[in-house]
Amino acid sequence: MAEAYAMKDTQHERLLMDMIERLEDDKHRLLNELYPNDIDITLDDGAYMPEKAHATDAGFDLRAISGAHLWPGRSALIHTGVHVAIPEGYYGRVAPRSGLAVKNGLDVLAGVVDCGYTNEIGVVLINLGSQPYDVSPGDKIAQLVVERIFTGKLRRVGSLDQTERGNNGYGSTGM
């Protein structure tokens, strides 16, 4: 009789271990769907692998593969030679580099890379500074930040709930 109970306990343990293993597999699969760890990219000849300067940085630095001369007030499309496969549920935001903005008045225009877009990432740089700026091949010109997208819908309502901030915007908290 004791052997029968011991055998049942062993079978139950095996069954529980199998269930735990399947749950762990499901957990890893679901987490990877929600928070992908890797993004596939290809590089054109002469392109640079996007990199983070620090592991905790939000964006991957994008580098130019060709040069350009930016007059004040003018913009140009700068080629990176980088192609990405952004996972579903995410998009890539091509964002300015703070150093270029502060030191040279450079900003980025039109910077959304939708999932499903696999052509080259181009960076539209605008010179808001007072001096011309030369972009050289290899220069870090922007950063690619991968962010989750909102997948809900916009719903029209008669009015919005009042909040502490209310209608205060554009400088309402001080300069």
Of 54, 51, 68, 151, the closest CA to residue 106 belongs to 68
Query: Domain check: are 24 and 106 in the same one?
Result: no
Domain residues for 118? 41-148
Q: Which residues pair with 63 in a beta bridge?
A: 140
CATH number, domain containing residue 126: 2.70.40.10
Between the alpha carbon of residue 157 and those of residues 71, 144, 160, the distances in Å are: 46, 35, 7
- Tell me, yes or no, whether 171 lies in a domain: no
Residue 4 has pLDDT above 60, yes or no: no
pLDDT in tens, 8-56: 778 888 899 999 999 988 887 787 777 777 899 999 999 999 999 999 9
Query: Domain check: are 20 and 53 in the same one?
Result: no
pTM: 0.74
Q: What are phi and psi of 41, to 5 degrees?
A: -135, 160
pLDDT in tens, 111-162: 999 999 999 999 999 999 999 999 999 999 999 999 999 989 999 999 998 8
